[in-house]
Amino acid sequence: SSGRDPAARARAPNFAPRPARWARGRCPERGRALGEAAMEAGSARVLQLVADGEISQLVAACEELELAIQEESLMALTDEQVATCSVLYSVHLLAYLLEGEMNAARFLWKRTPTAVQQHAQAEAAHRVLAARWRRQYPDLFRELAESPWESRLQPLVAEVVTRTRSSLVAQIGQAYKAISVERAATMLGLDAAAARALFERQGWPFDEAGNALPMPPKRAEDLMQMGTDQLDRLAEYVAYLEQPQCRI
């Protein structure tokens, strides 16, 4: 009321809500607890999606989790958190690769905390990203096969191998009328026998010299119904496969 002692009013506490960053700054222990809880919940969801093979939901879940990690990284990460974040950033990078979002993957790496970048899991994921960006497919498949991936990452790594190889086979089918099995095998990260068996499963014939004769997935009559933009894309596949290395 208007008759209230002004000094008493001045002493009255202000119960207006404070922003989250104020809470972290004034109550660091409480802020850390909140950050750790958010990270744990988000981490569990992302890793469960990987285990369940729910790949289509990974990017959205990883992007949401990254916000919690970035907030937590305002304070020093513990060694355990660095190891956990390394796995999670690796999932995020590989999920972007599966979606073909190469620029998003590059920018994710640039904003990854330095301590996380230096961890073995994140370094391996970045080498895969760099090989993919430069279209060095033999290096990409070697990194996927030989890097010491943690067991929780292995289902996602296997999916990257499968999808990348399948995409390359489709591109070879559209770009080449004939290709040596050995050359194609190198591109696909396979030995010649495995590559030949793969082409046989695709129904590709072979000429007398043993070269594969790729068959595009679309029949000729289907191609006649395609739009101009799609036909232009077919003409770019050879240039795409043969393009010189790019920097990342």
pLDDT surpassing 50 at residue 17:
no
Q: State what percent of residues in the chain have pLDDT above 70.
A: 70
Q: Which residues pair with 206 in a beta bridge?
A: 212
Give the whole-angstrom CA distance, residue 52 versus residue 23: 36
Phi first, then psi: what are they for 19, rounded to 5°?
Answer: -65, 160
Give the whole-angstrom CA distance, residue 135 versus residue 168: 11
**Residue spans of alpha helices (H) in the chain:** 6-11, 20-26, 28-52, 58-72, 79-99, 102-111, 114-117, 120-133, 137-146, 154-175, 181-188, 192-202, 220-223, 228-235, 237-242
Give the whole-angstrom CA distance, residue 239 versus residue 225: 24
Higher-scoring residue by pLDDT: 13, 183: 183
In this structure, of 110-119, 137-146, 238-247, the range with the lowest mean pLDDT score is 238-247
Task: Enter the pTM of the model.
Answer: 0.73
Mean pLDDT for all residues in the chain: 81
pLDDT surpassing 60 at residue 111:
yes
CA–centroid distance for 67 within its chain: 17
Which residue is associated with the tokens 């974040």? 85
pLDDT surpassing 50 at residue 69:
yes
Mean pLDDT, rounded, for 35-60: 88
Phi first, then psi: what are they for 152, rounded to 5°?
Answer: -70, -20
SS3 at position 213 = coil
CB 144 within 8 A of CB 136: no
